[in-house]
Amino acid sequence: MSLRRTAAALGLVLLATGCAGQGRAEVAPVAAGAAYHGVEPQPVPTRPSFVLRDTAGNRYDFGKETAGTPTLLYFGYTSCPDECPTAMADIAAALRQSDDAVRDNLEVVFVTTDPARDTPAVLRQWLAKFSTRVVGLVGSQAEVDAAQKAVGIPVATKAGAIPTLPGKPNEHVHKPGTAPHTHDGPLGYGVNHANVIFAYDAGDRLPVLYPAGVTAADIAADLPLLARTSTAQKES
């Protein structure tokens, strides 16, 4: 996979660092006649390979486990005040809007960018708020950093304290446009990370990225496209 290809595609949108209280990214306009409802990288990168552990403690090789399967991949953390719960709520809504055949042939993978706090139990409990079928991945800080590099995104960094409501360390003012959500514990520090949903198709390519601003309906409309693998795709 060419990391420069993914980086160039991400250059079309802003990387969200709003988890530390900064501004949210907005989706760039999609060209008329575009096949997908997000940002389409050109040339198209391929599915990356990295190894972490799932919340049951099993070794999870992303490249092998998801090969040939439409896959949505997101990097975030459970204490994220707005971007992560919104992205996961959008994915969950897209799944609900999809036919069983589409939904059952899709993998959704969430990689924590905050392994110091996101234990397997914490991550599993948080993901269950959105969907029990999401694969949660954890690892050492070095392993998580390597996974982000394999995908072609900047490594997430620790930021300052997340602003919370007076006397309520697990509550904050929600930014406009974010999904309703709650937090089970103090928010503490923020983590700056790429706020992008990566959508890999059945041909192990990355034909589309979903930055903030893409709707659940947009994602749902694209899921059947991700399942299609033409001869032209395989040869490109």
Q: Each residue's pLDDT tens digit in the chain (236 positions)?
A: 344 445 545 554 434 444 543 333 333 434 444 589 999 998 999 999 999 999 999 999 999 999 999 999 999 999 998 899 999 999 999 999 999 999 999 999 999 999 999 999 999 999 999 999 999 999 999 999 999 999 999 999 999 988 888 888 888 888 887 887 888 888 889 999 999 999 999 999 999 999 988 999 999 999 999 988 643 344 44
* DSSP code for 43: S
**One-letter amino acid for residue 11 of the chain:** G
CA distance 87 to 172: 18
The position carrying tokens 């897209």 is: 94
Q: Is 97 exposed, middle or buried (0-12, 13-18, 19+ CB in 10 A)?
A: middle
**Strand pairing category for 59-61 and 71-76:** unpaired
Q: What is the pLDDT of residue 19?
A: 58
Q: Where are the domains of the chain?
A: 3-22+51-235
Full-model pTM: 0.85
Q: Determine the straight-line distance between the first and last CA of the chain, rounded to whole angstroms.
A: 13
Q: What is the pLDDT of residue 55?
A: 97
Q: What is the pLDDT of residue 234?
A: 41
Q: Output the 3-class SS for 137-187.
A: EECCHHHHHHHHHHHCCCCCEEEEECCCECCECCCCCCCCCCCCCCCCCCC
Q: What is the pLDDT of residue 58?
A: 98
Q: What is the pLDDT of residue 229?
A: 60
C-alpha 106, offset from chain centre: 14
Class of domain 3-22+51-235: alpha beta
H or E element that contains 100 = helix 100-104
